[in-house]
Amino acid sequence: MMNRWKEIVYTIAAIQIGVGIAVMGVVTFIPLFIFDLGIEDPGQAAFWAGLISGITPFMIALTNPWWTVQCEKHGHKRILMSILLCMTVLMLSTAFVQTPQELFFLRMLQGASGGFIAIGLSLIAYVTPAEKLPWAMGLFQAAMVMGIMVGPVTGGLVADTLGYRVPFLLFGGLAFFCFLLTYFLIHVKKPEKTEKSRVSMLENFRYFLSNPLIRLMILMQFLVNFGLTGIGPILPLYIKQMSGNSPMVATLAGVILFAAGLTSALSSMSVGKLSSRIPHAKLLLGSTVVTGVLFIIQYWAPNVFLLGVFRAMTGLSIGLIMPIANTILTTSVPAEKRSIVIGVTSSASMMGNVAGPICSGAIAMQYGYGAVFWSTALFFMAAAWMLWSRRGQFSH
């Protein structure tokens, strides 16, 4: 399809690293930044942290289908540039907010400006030859993990040394650099419309939801995302409570998230070998149970160091869940619908990213930070029970 497809794939992967760093870089200090915006009560801070963390993925889930349609109308490059330019302006503007309400509003607009991942994956699928698609998707996945690992550490270090507003300026500049990379290095033609592309989103939802195994995997992904994102907003606050008045709270939170991301990435790379020896259903069930148990153990951690160790151990089990669920999803539909099922289910499962932070913020405000670990463990155990009760639906 394209003579320069590999160059485009490498460029998209590099941009994804930059976008991932910018997006994830604010996770470690936004809960702490809220205290600088006039909130003094820790419970209120946890509530606002959950609300602000949840609104961005909620808006991404709502607007992703619209942005995908715009790709077909205007081409991938123009939409990518629009998303990155919006991200640049909103990041820079966030450095000057004065209230939690203003921070919430700008984070909402950032979510509405579109999710880069879905468009990036769509572009890779468009330009890459079919026989090279697994390699290209693997490279993009590696870029995603790298951004997730590096972002929190970078944001935490900058926030602890230069203040909570400077990272927004830094990440806004990084987003603009990604915009320039897109403008100068990505050259693609606008996709041609086909009969398959005219199938409505509602018809796709009906088709996929008629498959009970796909319904189960969508629910599984929702619960996993719910459990994962629920910890994020309260982790810096929990570390602050555990470590006293340490001046490096954001950095500690970033290092812990980095360790969990690293172990998760290493675990994900081993899925192929493990699934060749262990049936998908058993591997998915076992990793879900272990994850639930490890969240309880995190609550019992007596210090920040052991909390980090247990988070890293949790990353090992979590790293197995999503790749297996996605494998089950893609092998449960015809080959021509595999790319569509990922797009449809991603919007549904992303709602877990919305509900997790909001519910954890409310739980922390009402019952304390520790209750979030127990409730997260409960959600994973509930997911394990559903997998066990429906194990007959798996073909292998």
Q: What is the pLDDT of residues 328-365, one digit of tens each?
A: 776 677 755 655 666 666 676 677 777 887 888 888 88
Query: Which CATH code for domain 1-185?
Result: 1.20.1250.20
Residue 3 has, within 13 A of its CA and on its CB side, a CA count of 0
How much is the pTM? 0.70
As given in the structure block, the two tokens for residue 381 are 């155990």
| The pair of three-digit structure tokens given for residue 56, joined into one six-digit string | 């961005």
Return the minimum-mean-pLDDT range out of 137-141, 216-220, 248-252, 376-380.
Answer: 137-141
pLDDT for 2: 47
| Residue 186, C-beta contacts closer than 8 angstroms, at least 6 positions apart | 8, 11, 12, 76, 77, 80, 123
Q: Which residue has tokens 């909103």?
A: 90
Tell me what the mean pLDDT of segment 197-217 comes to: 71
Looking at the domain covering 201-390, what would its CATH class be?
mainly alpha
Residue 193 is predicted with a pLDDT of: 59
Q: Among candidates 9, 275, 243, 260, which has minimal Cα distance to 137?
A: 9
Segments of the chain assigned to CATH 1.20.1250.20: 1-185, 201-390
Q: Express each pLDDT in 112-149 by its tens digit.
A: 887 777 788 778 777 877 666 656 766 776 677 788 77
